[in-house]
């Protein structure tokens, strides 16, 4: 297998749409990733940002996986954190080192941002993801809260 990892840029809206379909299938959440796709203008703007990192992995020319991460500048020191928001590999390409290769590519990008950590969230029960992340990093058990953007009273 020939593996190529490509960082998507402002001209890669079509590739991002394909990657979103892969995410929707992998996460069993097609509604989120496919029902209201972003416009070309939106994707161009988002993928133009240096702080938005979208990586697509191609195995023998076929989309095999991808990762979307965001650089978060810190204010207590001149450093950044990088948050992996989405990471998935197509089912028939799993257990081939693609997720590890995507994270390794991100680690190289992180160094250029002077990032002191890359972090990712895993859901309880997602044993494959948990095993991968435990292999690559240190586990921290935290609570996650979703807060609505509007004040409700």
Whether the per-residue pLDDT at 127 is higher than 90: the answer is no
Query: Residue 150 falls within a domain, yes or no?
Result: no
Provide φ and ψ at 119, rounded to 5°. Answer: -130, 155
Q: What is the mean pLDDT of residues 43-71?
A: 97
Query: Residue 23 falls within a domain, yes or no?
Result: yes
Query: Residue 56 falls within a domain, yes or no?
Result: yes
Q: Which residue range is the domain that position 24 belongs to?
A: 3-121
Confidence of residue 85 (pLDDT cuts 50, 70, 90): very high
Q: Provide the domain count of the chain.
A: 1
Q: Which CATH number is 54's domain given? A: 3.40.630.30
Instruction: Return the pLDDT at 107.
Output: 95
Query: Residue 73 falls within a domain, yes or no?
Result: yes
Query: Residue 136 falls within a domain, yes or no?
Result: no
**Run of H or E residues at 133:** helix 127-136
Confidence of residue 94 (pLDDT cuts 50, 70, 90): very high
What's the mean pLDDT when you consider all of the chain? Answer: 89
Query: Residue 133 falls within a domain, yes or no?
Result: no
């Amino acid at each position: 297998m020939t593996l190529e990892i490509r960082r998507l840029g402002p001209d890669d809206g079509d590739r991002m749409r394909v990657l979103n379909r892969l995410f929707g299938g992998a996460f069993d959440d097609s509604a989120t990733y496919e029902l209201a796709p972003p416009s070309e203008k939106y994707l161009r703007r988002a993928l133009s940002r240096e702080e938005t990192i979208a990586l697509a992995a191609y195995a023998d020319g076929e989309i095999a996986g991808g990762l979307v991460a965001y650089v978060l500048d810190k204010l207590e020191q001149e450093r950044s954190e990088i948050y992996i928001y989405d990471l998935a590999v197509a089912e028939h390409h799993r257990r081939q080192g693609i997720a590890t290769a995507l994270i390794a590519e991100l680690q190289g990008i992180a160094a250029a941002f002077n990032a002191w950590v890359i972090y990712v969230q895993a859901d309880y029960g997602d044993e494959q993801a948990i095993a991968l992340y435990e292999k690559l990093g240190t586990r921290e058990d935290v609570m996650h809260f979703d807060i609505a953007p509007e004040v409700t009273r």
